[in-house]
């Protein structure tokens, strides 16, 4: 579903991503791991349109997207979340979700005057969808709570909810478990699995190796801006090159999740 070909990105002479190529299969959960500074977030920004490639290509659903702005990439069905949730904190949880769908009739003021019935009907449809998403994420009890008052874990779930409101084919998750307590982390993992079973594709950056090993079908390892290896979680867990050269685990300790 997603192909990155020979991606290169430099910042003031420092090559953050160095001829990196990855393939992400459809309807699977793929993990992207690496130490701080490996280039993972930069690669996410290149894929989602937050940064422009120096050289290389990004293809999504057999269409080249690296020359498109971020909002057009979202409309192609590729949605990206952030490590630090970007909720509108002075709006309620349900309002955050209802803002997501693009090109709403109510965005044009004259429609409120001349197409009032259609505007209200669309708004009710969007609200119903938002309530459905909140129910799926088990956030119904905070739907009228200001987003700024939510816990870190609830904000991460709200980020996932905002992604679902755009009905994407693929979701890029940037550290969904960071700062989240174990109970909510389990809930996030369960939701990702359910969505994958419903046909969604995921690529996630994550430092929590237990989560990576638990939910991922495939794991891609980056180091120094480059694609190092890829394989099943078990193959990556036991790879000597990953253990010694990349994760810095001493020989004999072959459990990267521990």
All structural domains of the chain, each given as residue ranges with its CATH number in brackets, are 2-87+153-246 (3.40.50.300), 91-149 (no CATH)
Structure tokens at 62: 């057999």
Q: Judge contact between 46 and 32, C-beta under 8 A.
A: no
**Which residue(s) pair with 31 in the sheet?**
204, 219
Q: Are 19 and 8 in contact (CB under 8 A)?
A: yes
- Residue 234: count other Cβ atoms within 10 Å of its Cβ: 10
Report which of residues 111 and 167 the model is more confident about: 167
pLDDT score recorded for residue 4:
98
Mean pLDDT, residues 210-225: 93
Res 252 pLDDT > 50: no
Specify the pLDDT at position 49. 96
Evaluate if residue 251 carries a pLDDT over 90.
Answer: no
User: How far is residue 93's CA from residue 197's CA, in Å, rounded to a whole number?
Assistant: 26
Strand extents, DSSP E, the chain? 2-11, 14-24, 29-33, 55-60, 63-64, 78-80, 170-174, 201-205, 218-223, 226-231
pLDDT in tens, 76-91: 999 998 877 788 899 9
pLDDT, tens only, 148-158: 999 988 998 99
Residue 224 reports pLDDT greater than 80? yes
The reported pLDDT for the residue numbered 79 is: 94
Q: Do the beta carbons of residue 220 and residue 230 sit within 8 Å?
A: yes
- Picking from 163, 169, 137, 167, the residue whose alpha carbon sits closest to that of residue 27 is 169
Q: Which two tokens stand for residue 192?
A: 């990702």
Q: What is the DSSP letter of 250?
A: P
Q: What is the mean pLDDT of the chain?
A: 88
Q: Are 143 and 94 within 8 A, CB to CB? A: yes
Angstrom distance (rounded) from CA 131 to CA 96: 12
Q: What are phi and psi of 87, to 5 degrees?
A: -70, 155
pLDDT over 70, % of the chain = 90
**In the predicted structure, residue 253 carries a pLDDT above the cut 70:** no
pTM exceeding the 0.85 threshold for the entire prediction: no
Confidence of residue 139 (pLDDT cuts 50, 70, 90): very high
**Using one digit for the tens of pLDDT, what is the confidence trace for 108-134?**
666 666 677 777 887 889 999 999 999
Residues 185-214: what's their mean pLDDT?
Answer: 92
Secondary structure (DSSP) of 149-196: GS-HHHHHHHHHHHHHHT--SEEEEE-TTTT--HHHHHHHHHHHHHHH
Q: Which residue has the higher pLDDT, 73 or 249?
A: 73
In which order are the strands placed within the sheet that holds 2-11? 14-24, 2-11, 55-60, 63-64
Task: Give the separation between CA 207 and CA 35, rounded to whole angstroms.
Answer: 8
> How does pLDDT run across 22-74, given as a tens digit for each residue?
999 999 999 999 888 899 999 999 999 999 999 999 999 999 999 999 999 99
- Rounded Cα gap, residues 205 and 184, in angstroms: 18
């Amino acid at each position: 579903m997603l192909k990155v070909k020979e991606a290169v990105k430099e910042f003031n002479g420092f090559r953050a991503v160095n001829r990196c190529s990855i393939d992400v299969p459809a309807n699977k959960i793929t993990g992207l791991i690496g130490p701080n500074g490996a280039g993972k977030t930069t690669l996410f920004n290149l894929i989602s349109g937050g940064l422009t490639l120096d050289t290389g290509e990004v293809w999504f659903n057999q269409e080249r997207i690296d020359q498109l702005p971020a909002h057009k990439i979202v409309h192609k069905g590729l949605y990206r979340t952030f490590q630090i949730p970007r909720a509108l904190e002075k709006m309620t949880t349900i309002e955050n979700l209802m803002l997501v769908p693009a090109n709403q009739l109510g965005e044009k003021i004259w429609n409120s005057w001349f197409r009032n019935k259609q505007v209200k009907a669309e708004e009710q449809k969007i609200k119903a969808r938002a309530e459905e998403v909140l129910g799926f994420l088990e956030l119904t009890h905070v739907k009228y709570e200001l987003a700024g008052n939510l816990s870190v874990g609830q904000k991460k779930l709200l980020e996932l909810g905002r992604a679902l409101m755009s009905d994407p084919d693929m979701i890029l998750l940037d550290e969904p478990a960071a700062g989240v307590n174990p109970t909510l982390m389990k809930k996030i993992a369960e939701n990702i699995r359910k969505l994958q079973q419903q046909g969604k594709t995921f690529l996630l950056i994550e430092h929590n190796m237990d989560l990576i090993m638990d939910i991922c079908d495939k794991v891609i390892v980056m180091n120094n801006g480059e694609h190092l290896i890829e394989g099943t979680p078990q193959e990556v867990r036991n790879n000597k090159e990953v253990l010694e050269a990349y994760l810095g685990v001493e020989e004999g300790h072959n459990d990267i999740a521990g």
